[in-house]
Structure 1
Amino acid sequence: MENATKEEYKIQSFDAKTQQLLKTALKDPSSVDLEKVANLIVDQSLKDQVFSKEAGRICFTIVQAEGRQAGSNVFRRNLLNRLQQEYKTREETRSRSVQEWVCYVTFICNIFDYLKVDCLVMQLHRIGDQLEKMNVQRMDELFFLLRDGFFLQNELSSLARLLLLEILEFRASGWRLSDSAQKYYYSEVTD
């Protein structure tokens, strides 16, 4: 399984300097201007529908890396502020360019696909075992739905599927991951 940090992102539409900035942001977010990175990603997403799909994955990876590295959310805050600005002018955007509007909606859907699944998985990691002790039947129902989502929802991104698979395995192994599973899901690859 390839970790998102080692996957190649489709950033060829940027000039060489911007590509390097994005690669650095993916590996070491605290070493770059994250507001600039957020704006670059949003700007390109509004112009390029192919990139707008990829951008959700890139943003998710930067958010995760920043959280692990610095425990902060500068990138997420700047990204959400910029998306909120774009949302405020949505009618103007839609009337000016349907293509730009489609790119914006595609980007938003990809961003929140990752964030919703990530939030659920994070909470289940923290308190899933306690919730299960309180009501096993409800947890069984939830995990049946998660399993079905993993197998049956074709529109889920590969990263969202990976998160669902990881939490299914986490619960199945007694709310712990074996060392090999930990390495499989969370290993970092260096250049």
Structure 2
Amino acid sequence: TMENSSDDYRIQSLDLDTQETAVKDPSAVNLEKVSHIIVDQSLKDQIFSKEAGRICYTIVQVNNMPMVALVNPVYDCLMRLAKPDALLNEEEVDCLVLQLHRIGEQLEMMNSQRMDDLFFLLRDGFLLQEGLTSMARLLLLEILEFRAGGWILSTTAHKYYYSEIAD
């Protein structure tokens, strides 16, 4: 349900050993294991997937560890959301774009090749995919322009994408 906070999700989706370790000694948690749990849960649960980026970021901050351990699992998740079947689901496109707005720039700094690969999929989806909703198309165009502008949206572009939604 919507009432569940992301903290509830974090605890429920980890096994008891990991939960105890996470509480007593956060630095001892196996980040790879945790990140795979987060990715698996994200692919099964849309509400959770909206929080997944933030949870990963929190884990990294708490553990004071490099984000490197989470980069590939997060990319795996985003690549899955960029596949044709996912692009047909407006909520999944919305989730993908939201995560890219939040952590796209940092992810690109850690592995620009994978970001290029992801954006090739998004560009092809935008140009070639049959059956996209107009909102999904708009979201894809916006994120393509956002990255092309160095992860910043020009004032003109911002007006174009967001003025109609506000009206």
TM-score where L is the length of structure 2 = 0.46
TM-score where L is the length of structure 1 = 0.40
Greater relative CO, 1 or 2 (CA 8 Å, sep 6+): 1
Larger Rg: 1
